[in-house]
Amino acid sequence: MPQKIAAGNWKMNGTRAALDEARATAAGAPDGVLTLICPPATLLPLMPAGLAKGGQACHPAASGAHTGDIAAPMLADAGATHCLAGHSERRQDHGETDADVAAQVSAIWSAGLTAILCIGETLAEREAGRTLDVLFSQLEGSLPEGATAANTVIAYEPVWAIGTGKVASPEQVDEVHDALRGRLIDKLAEGGEIALLYGGSVKAGNAAELFALENVNGGLVGGASLTADDFLPIARALAES
């Protein structure tokens, strides 16, 4: 049975004052769910106990002359257990290719962390009927050999639904997650156990409906993870699913 994961991505938001929200989230985190926050790297060592912690990105090298970058071993040293890879904002803003993402996933694994691999299609790709082709291509190109349920989580985030207030319909999410599950089972020995998260304007109001879908094992939540009042109802909906 895949693990239930409520993951929050704070993106480039949060100073020390935001730790109060993290503490409130930790205090109210439900049993039976891995409640995880990926804060800015500056806050990672300060995050409270009771939450799993993750990095938002890492450089594929373990160290070196890479000014402004952060390595996976540094994230592990700061208390992270997970790290995102391949988020659409990284692919778009930093020009990261599938090969770049695969190198990052390998680095995340080498540091003993779990990779949360993000894949997703643009609106133009969906309207052209290419959603599954794009997702399978990203999965093939971004996931190195050696993926297991312990070291890998897959997050489906349609690019057109990230931060827009739009959300894929339950029928759309169900179709994609079922197809991804089938592909993982075909490709990997533990493909049936790898957690599949949905991300893209997940909120308290739509969480229960999304988490009721068979192959949705949790959510990767953006803006709604910044406050405990918004994030905890999502985590509780997952616990009750």
What pLDDT is recorded for position 201? 86
Residue 198 pairs with which residues in a beta bridge? Answer: 156, 219
Whether 160 has a binding-site annotation, put simply, is no
What pLDDT is recorded for position 170? 93
What pLDDT is recorded for position 16? 98
Domain count, the chain: 1
Whether 10 has a binding-site annotation, put simply, is yes
Residues 125-146: tens digit of each pLDDT: 999 999 999 999 999 999 999 9
What pLDDT is recorded for position 60? 98
What pLDDT is recorded for position 85? 98
Is-above-0.75 flag for pTM? Answer: yes
Q: Residue 14: which domain range?
A: 5-239
Q: Whose CA is closest to 62, among 123, 6, 112?
A: 112
**Quick one: 204 exposed, middle or buried, by C-beta within 10 A (0-12, 13-18, 19+)?**
middle
Whether 203 has a binding-site annotation, put simply, is no
Q: What positions carry a catalytic annotation?
A: 87, 157
Q: Whose CA is closest to 157, among 113, 202, 192?
A: 202
**Encoded amino acid at 132, one letter:** L
Whether 217 has a binding-site annotation, put simply, is no
The CATH number of whichever domain residue 137 belongs to comes to 3.20.20.70
What pLDDT is recorded for position 31? 97
Give the model's confidence band at 165: pLDDT under 50 very low, under 70 low, under 90 confident, else very high. Answer: confident
Residues 169-227: tens digit of each pLDDT: 999 999 999 999 999 999 999 999 999 999 988 999 999 999 999 999 999 999 999 99
Whether 201 has a binding-site annotation, put simply, is yes
Rounded to 5 degrees, what angle do the CA atoms 146, 93, 115 make?
20
Other C-beta atoms closer than 10 Å to the C-beta of 19 total: 15
Mean pLDDT within 16-32: 98
Q: Whose CA is closest to 199, among 233, 232, 176, 228?
A: 176
What pLDDT is recorded for position 166? 75
Residues 33-82: tens digit of each pLDDT: 999 999 999 999 999 999 999 999 999 999 999 999 999 999 999 999 99
Whether 63 has a binding-site annotation, put simply, is no
Give the model's confidence band at 167: pLDDT under 50 very low, under 70 low, under 90 confident, else very high. Answer: confident
